[in-house]
Amino acid sequence: MKSFVFMGFLAAGVVSGHGISAASESLAYQCNLGDGFAFVQTIPEEGRAVYQGDTGNLNLVPDGRGGYFNDREEVSFADQNGQPALYLGDVAFACQLAAPRPTGSQTHAGGAVGGNETRLNAQGQSLGGKLRDGPGMNFRQTGSLAEGTWITILTNTGVRFNGYDWFEVATDRGQRGFQWGGIMCSNGQQLAGIFEQCGARSVQNPQQAANAAQQLNVQGQSLGGKLRGGPGTNYAQVGSLTEGTWVTILRNTGVRFDGYDWFEVATDRGQRGFQWGGIMCSNGQQISGIFQQCGSQPPQQPVQNRSTGSAGGWMAFALAPNGAYGHGAAPTQAGAEQFAMNYCGGPQCRIADTTQARCHALAIAPGSNGIGAGESEQAAQGFAMGWCANNGASNCRIEYTYCQ
């Protein structure tokens, strides 16, 4: 089992509901790069498109097939069959239609909003992400906030994107800018245009987290994944553990993420760091905030490395950057891979995982995915959800499961 991430939305039909507009219409797209967004605006009447990234703007010219490219910088963009994609070199990033950026002058920082703003001055927290100098991904980044940073939510700008609004915010340290409501929570009451109330995730400031920490010093195992320098996906990776690594679970930090807590752990080899409870098991007893009980025996080796398995046959997943996927099952590995590629059905499909375990599952979220395999449907789905969330995603869901 493993994670196989295409940097984009692993979901079919990313522009569902918009349809394909006439070729002469100027359109704007937001493209998910995994750690941020790029912006592409097609301008057919001028015979060009404009790519806007962190390093500035770049003109793209028509490629004769309805797309645009800049050969020197190896940047191209195409909207084929309602599935727009940005290509940086050989890597594809999924895009979706967004509100076009105004062509006239646009103020920002103190005056980016235009008549639809609502004054709030409410307390809340950032779930981690970039601050910008205006209400949109096309505005320049001016800073970033760590998960759990307390903020004053000054204004709802009235600018909506992907189901949430953009807000002007300020921190106690004097940072001020605009952040998207999809990565914020409001304290005390649910505010329109913001992802959720802070209590729903138990997002905490550092002192609260320290107070909530629970000393454990019990044995358990990692189901495989990253060790981080602190209790959250916004902390730097300091190492990784293979599936089945025995760990001493030192303490529950009290920081909760997607239904499980972050724990400080240590290995017999001296590694020490923080791992998410969704990819751990506890030995002998079920511990709150951890995925499951290990039992008294260590788990078997990772299923993708097995030469034999209880199910006998092989299964495979194939994935494509545009969200397509295929799953195959056959007596041989080659046969399973062929079926998966056929069902995926596109030239950009690639084999992402093969296994001889009994069950195979795929979990997806914007910008992330995870594949899990196990001897039960619950185990496969749990591993898939764990790998998806371990990549930093917060809205993972099971897309497909198959058991032999």
Has residue 374 been placed in a domain? yes
Q: Say yes or no to pLDDT of 305 above 50.
A: no
Domain with 165, as residue range(s), is: 118-200
pLDDT band (50, 70, 90) for residue 102: very low
pLDDT band (50, 70, 90) for residue 312: low
| pLDDT of the residue at 249 | 92
Q: Say yes or no to pLDDT of 105 above 60.
A: no
Assess whether 379 and 313 both reside in one domain.
yes
Q: Say yes or no to pLDDT of 4 above 50.
A: no
Distance CA(71)–CA(259), nearest Å, equals: 46
Assess whether 255 and 337 both reside in one domain.
no
Q: What is the mean pLDDT of the chain?
A: 75
Assess whether 282 and 220 both reside in one domain.
yes
Interval 116-134 mean pLDDT: 82
Assess whether 333 and 373 both reside in one domain.
yes
| pLDDT of the residue at 265 | 92
185: its two tokens? 């929570």
User: Which CATH number do you get for residue 249?
Assistant: 2.30.30
| pLDDT of the residue at 317 | 92
Has residue 7 been placed in a domain? no
Assess whether 322 and 397 both reside in one domain.
yes
Angle (CA) 380-265-296 rounded to 5° is 55
| 336 or 304, greater pLDDT | 336
Assess whether 236 and 276 both reside in one domain.
yes
Assess whether 310 and 287 both reside in one domain.
no
Has residue 140 been placed in a domain? yes
pLDDT band (50, 70, 90) for residue 167: very high
For 120-135, letters b (16+ CB in 10 Å) and e give bebebbbbbbbbbbbb
Q: Say yes or no to pLDDT of 225 above 60.
A: yes
> Considering Cα of 139, then 140, then 146, then 150, what sign does the dihedral take?
negative
pLDDT in tens, 245-300: 889 999 988 887 767 888 999 988 888 999 988 888 888 888 888 988 886 343 33
| 269 or 207, greater pLDDT | 269
| pLDDT of the residue at 127 | 80
Interval 361-367 mean pLDDT: 85
| pLDDT of the residue at 204 | 43
| 52 or 95, greater pLDDT | 95
